[in-house]
Amino acid sequence: MSKKAAISKPSEGASGLTGMWRIKRPVVDQTKCTNCLLCWLYCPEGAMKRHEDGKLSISYDFCKGCGICAEVCPAKAIVIVREA
């Protein structure tokens, strides 16, 4: 009998519109971003979007403002600001 490991993968919308939970939002400074994609890798909501031109954007429908992306960004290219 084989054993299977449980692996959690982030997926956009798995918990609904998680952007409604947010009281703070991440903002990417594209001039500092080195495109390392750590934020994309670590975002638990799959809210970081990669575009063909290499730039990143954030889906605020699903970003819940947890701040993990800002914590892992080695270039300090993501700031967390309070929602208006």
Kindly list the residues in this chain that would bind ligand SF4 in the complex (CB under 6 A). Answer: 26, 28, 33-39, 43, 45, 47-48, 56, 58, 63-69, 73, 75, 77-78
Is the CB of 3 or the CB of 40 nearer to ligand SF4? Answer: 40
Is the CB of 1 or the CB of 30 nearer to ligand SF4? Answer: 30
Residue 7 CB partners (closer than 8 Å, separation 6+)? none
Angle at 55 between CA 71 and CA 25, to 5 degrees: 40
Closest approach, Cβ 17 to ligand SF4, in A, equals 12
Is the CB of 8 or the CB of 45 nearer to ligand SF4? Answer: 45
Closest approach, Cβ 15 to ligand SF4, in A, equals 11
